[in-house]
Amino acid sequence: MAKKDLWAIGVDLGGTKIEVAWVDAGGTVHQRLRRPTNPERGPAAVKSGLIAAVRELWEDAGSSPAGVGVGVAGQIEPRQGIVRFSPNLGWRDEPFQADLHQALGIPIVVTNDVRAATWGEWLHGAGRGCADLVCLFVGTGIGGGVVSGGQVLSGCTNSAAELGHITVDINGPFCRCGNRGCLEALAGGWAIAQHAREAVQTNPAAGAYLLKMAGDEPESITAQIVAQAARSGDPLAVHLIEKMVQALITGAVSLVNAFNPCRFILGGGIIEGMPHIVERISQGVKQQALAIAAEPLQILPAQLHQDAGVVGAAALAIIAALKGKRES
Amino acid sequence: MAKKDLWAIGVDLGGTKIEVAWVDAGGTVHQRLRRPTNPERGPAAVKSGLIAAVRELWEDAGSSPAGVGVGVAGQIEPRQGIVRFSPNLGWRDEPFQADLHQALGIPIVVTNDVRAATWGEWLHGAGRGCADLVCLFVGTGIGGGVVSGGQVLSGCTNSAAELGHITVDINGPFCRCGNRGCLEALAGGWAIAQHAREAVQTNPAAGAYLLKMAGDEPESITAQIVAQAARSGDPLAVHLIEKMVQALITGAVSLVNAFNPCRFILGGGIIEGMPHIVERISQGVKQQALAIAAEPLQILPAQLHQDAGVVGAAALAIIAALKGKRES
């Protein structure tokens, strides 16, 4: 990488692993490291590990990054870059930006991990060039991000676009958040696994195939196993996946009517594992959303896959550096 | 009004009536006219009537307005101010801004009527000084507007914030839009009236009080009659209003989690007729929304009542005039 080239380090900090990548201004990942987070060692050790990984990439690059962007699985106070609350890391009100800046001496930008992935898809993925988009990431949980009028929405306390917690069924099952009928409680990976376990216990005959795939351990049934069983034609699994698809269509219709995006981008592990459902969801939304919102809409799979978070976080650091330069 | 004072004419153009008001830059209405729309006379006659009413107010004011802002019940193409589709007026692709400008010779701004009311509440009503707010107007239908990061959201085809058409019940009753379980299909005035009529027909004994209030004509049951019967303690009416309140809480929770507003403003005829439900909705949302979104949130009644539309439309015209001055 030539010394004059603008690049940054993007970090995706989750409860299980830390992804660190060297990303250029065009969104290309040149090198990456993956380390276990081991949050049980405490915040200081997690930060030290992250800083060491950043330094390693920096040395390899041979020139200085514009900054470091970090997407953290948790609620972020954006001005001071404090992690207000991260259940995955077990952190509360943890200073983060300041500590990283002190150790590394370059600009640090901290954001939420799903927000970072939204930036990634917007600037370098399926949302390129689009001023109005909704990203929905369907994994174990469901998260999202919204760009409207060329601005990433942040909201009053930087928690806008908790799209897994829009209600799609007023009488629906309870969600991890305490409310009921959330999109996540019908279509998140944890919910699919839970519904499958309940169905297997209620009706062992219908659940025989799923149970066999899970080694006869109901607790070992995962959303991945349900998806695999559905591909094999197991009727219970097909029914469960069908309910998930209907919930995703319903949630997407709400979001399309509420935000009127030009593009609706579907990503996350569940979607990556069942890419054919993007077309199903697209057809359902086109039929059920208001005509004026449905007509211009494109529903697309995410393009950056696992890299969306590090690419988006790095892009934020590059933008911050460019703004800093412009203002000075 | 002194000649140097900045003021504008705000217009609220609905299918039944045209409201025209002389509004100053502080949002105060100085004078107003109300005329029947008579859309059956055709677009040219409606425009002529509107132009005549504007001229009448203009003459009374004794100085020139900065412009005319019009909120139209329909879908608006914002750049050219064309009414793309208005079911209430029976218009499709009707040039509007250009015709009004030709007749009046001053700047014309055209927007959707609910968007205009959102501007009114934001700049001069319950949303003053707030950069992140959601307005929900619950009348015969349900409409809304969203301000996020100090920008009124417009979306890809200027139809953002169709908040009556977020789904709250995946198995719910059909909506006028063709989808099912929309917030409007559970809590809009037309839906309450329809549910009441169905209940009266299904169970005439339980519906006796409602039927009596409607002069023994099921088709004469309105949401207003249901609200009045609920106040008198009629069990069926109380049940119907309770279901409406639960639907509004559920819809508001979705919107609070999706937009993370600092304020959530409730207006429209149904809310005005039952102002006590604002507090009920507030309590429900505080319990059910995500803590990070619920903590900073204020849920408030709209302040401008019937004037929100004309005040907001006039404010848009004043802002356009100020921007024009700054740019020239």
For residue A25, the 8-state DSSP code is: T
C-beta neighbour count of B51 within 10 angstroms:
17
A267-292 per-position pLDDT tens digit: 999 999 999 999 999 999 999 999 99
Query: Does the beta-carbon distance from A259 to B153 stay under 8 Å?
Result: yes
Distance from C-alpha of B145 to C-alpha of A59, rounded to nearest angstrom = 50
Chain A residues touching B297 at Cβ < 8 A: 156
Q: For tokens 């509440």, what's the residue?
A: B121
Running along chain B, 328 residues long, what does each successive block of 10 average in pLDDT?
A: 78 96 96 96 97 95 94 94 94 96 96 98 98 97 97 97 98 96 98 97 96 96 97 98 98 98 97 96 98 96 97 97 74
Chain B residues touching A293 at Cβ < 8 A: 155-157, 159, 162
Q: Which residue of A has its CA nearest to B247?
A: A170
C-alpha distances out from residue B216 to B188, B190, B208, B226, B235, Å: 23, 19, 9, 14, 18
pTM for the predicted model, two decimal places: 0.96
Chain B residues touching A172 at Cβ < 8 A: 170
Q: Which of B163, B168, B292 sits opposite A167 (nearest CB)?
A: B168
Query: Does the beta-carbon distance from A262 to B156 stay under 8 Å?
Result: yes
Half-sphere CA count of A201, side-chain side, radius 13 A: 11
Q: Which residue of A has its CA nearest to B297?
A: A156
**C-alpha dihedral (A155, A157, A163, A167), degrees to nearest 10:** -110
Contact B62, B1 (CB under 8 A): yes
Helix/strand/coil for A96? coil
Q: What angle do CA B128, B133, B137 make, to 5 degrees?
A: 95
What does DSSP say about strands B133-138 and B263-267: parallel, antiparallel, or unpaired? parallel
Distance from C-alpha of A193 to C-alpha of A211, rounded to nearest angstrom = 12
Q: What is the pLDDT of residue B4?
A: 58
Amino acid at B73: A
CA distance B52 to chain A (A): 32
- Sequential DSSP letters for B73-97: SSEEETTTTEEEEETTTTEEEEE-H
pLDDT, average across residues A42-61:
95
B94-135 per-position pLDDT tens digit: 999 999 999 999 999 999 999 999 999 999 999 999 999 999
Residue A155: both structure tokens together:
């909201």
Chain B residues touching A159 at Cβ < 8 A: 260, 290, 292-293
Q: What is the pLDDT of residue A294?
A: 97
Q: What is the pLDDT of residue A72?
A: 97
Interface of B with A in 8-67 (CB under 8 A): none
Query: Residue A110 — pLDDT band, cuts 50, 70, 90?
Result: very high
Amino acid at A227: A
Q: What is the pLDDT of residue A2?
A: 57
Distance from C-alpha of A83 to C-alpha of A103, rounded to nearest angstrom = 17
pLDDT, average across residues A107-125:
97
- Sequential DSSP letters for A292-310: HHHTT-EEEE-SSGGGHHH
Query: Residue A1 — pLDDT band, cuts 50, 70, 90?
Result: low
Q: Which of B153, B156, B254 sits opposite A166 (nearest CB)?
A: B254
Task: Give the H/E segment covering residue A270.
Answer: helix A269-273
Domains (range + CATH), chain A: 7-119+306-327 (3.30.420.40), 128-302 (3.30.420.40)
Q: What is the pLDDT of residue B21?
A: 98
- First vs last C-alpha separation in chain B: 26
Q: What is the pLDDT of residue B328?
A: 46
CA distance A50 to chain B (A): 27
- Sequential DSSP letters for B24-70: ETTS-EEEEEEEE--GGG-HHHHHHHHHHHHHHHHHHHSS--S-EEE
Q: Which of A149, A163, A255 sits opposite B151 (nearest CB)?
A: A149
Chain mean pLDDT for chain A: 96
B26-59 per-position pLDDT tens digit: 999 999 999 999 999 999 999 999 999 999 999 9
CA distance B150 to chain A (A): 10
Task: Name the residue among B312, B274, B5 with its Cα closest to residue B135.
Answer: B312
Q: Which residue of B has its CA nearest to A179?
A: B288
Chain B residues touching A257 at Cβ < 8 A: 162-163, 165-166
- List strands edge to edge, sheet with B68-72: B29-36, B17-24, B7-13, B68-72, B108-112
Q: What is the pLDDT of residue B238?
A: 98
Would the pLDDT of A96 be above 70?
Answer: yes
- Sequential DSSP letters for A184-251: HHHHSHHHHHHHHHHHHHH-TTTTHHHHHHTTT-GGG--HHHHHHHHHTT-HHHHHHHHHHHHHHHHH
Contact B79, B125 (CB under 8 A): no
Q: Which residue of A has its CA nearest to B161?
A: A258
Residue B24: both structure tokens together:
């100053």
- List strands edge to edge, sheet with B82-86: B75-77, B82-86, B91-95
Q: What is the pLDDT of residue B2?
A: 57
pLDDT, average across residues A203-212:
96
Say if A129 is an interface residue toward chain B (CB within 8 Å).
no
Q: What is the pLDDT of residue A328?
A: 46
Helix/strand/coil for A281? helix
Chain A residues touching B166 at Cβ < 8 A: 166, 254, 257-258
Beta bridge partners of A8: A23
CA distance B207 to chain A (A): 25
> B22-41 in b/e burial notation, b at 16+ Cβ within 10 A?
bbbbebebeebbeeebebee
